Amino acid sequence: MNERLKLLRKTLKLSQDAFAERIGMKGSSISLLESGGRNITEQVIKSICREFNVDYIWLTTGDGEMFIDTDDDFIERIDRIMVGEDDARKNLFKALLDASDEDIAAFQRIIDLFASKKD
C-alpha cells in the first residue's frame, strides 16, 4: 500500500507537503507512510479516498482502478469546461446535446477506434 500511496501522490503531481495538507497531515508523515516507516491507518485511508476520489479497494489491495468516477465528478468537470475558454470542448458538448442517435452511434465508433489504438 505504501507504493500505491506514493504512486497516487505522484499521479496527482503533489508534493508530500501539499498531499499531506489536503488530508490534514504533515509532509513528514506522508514520507514515513510512503517509505513504510509507519503503517497507514484506516482513518488516513478513508481521508485519502474521500479527498482524492480514490477507490478504497485499489488503495488497500491494488485491484481495480485508482480513481472513482461519479456522476458528480463528471458534472463538475463539464461545468469547469463550460465556464472556461476552451471553445472546442464547449462546442463538442453543445453538438452532442443536439446529436441524433445515428450521430451518437458514429461518435461511439470513433471513440472505440481510438481506444483500440491505445491498447
Record the pTM.
0.59
Higher model confidence: residue 12 or residue 82? Answer: 12
CATH no., domain 1-61: 1.10.260.40
What phi and psi, each to the nearest 5 degrees, are found at residue 89? -65, -45
What phi and psi, each to the nearest 5 degrees, are found at residue 54? -90, 140
Percent of the chain at pLDDT exceeding 70: 98
Q: Is the dihedral of CA 24, 30, 34, 37 positive or negative?
A: negative
The domain spans of the chain are 1-61, 71-116
Distance CA 65, CA 111 (A): 20
Predicted local confidence at residue 72, as pLDDT = 73
Assign 59 a pLDDT band (cuts: 50, 70, 90). Answer: very high
**At residue 57, what is the residue type?**
I
Assign 119 a pLDDT band (cuts: 50, 70, 90). Answer: low
Report how far apart the first and last C-alpha atoms of the chain are (Å, whole number). Answer: 27
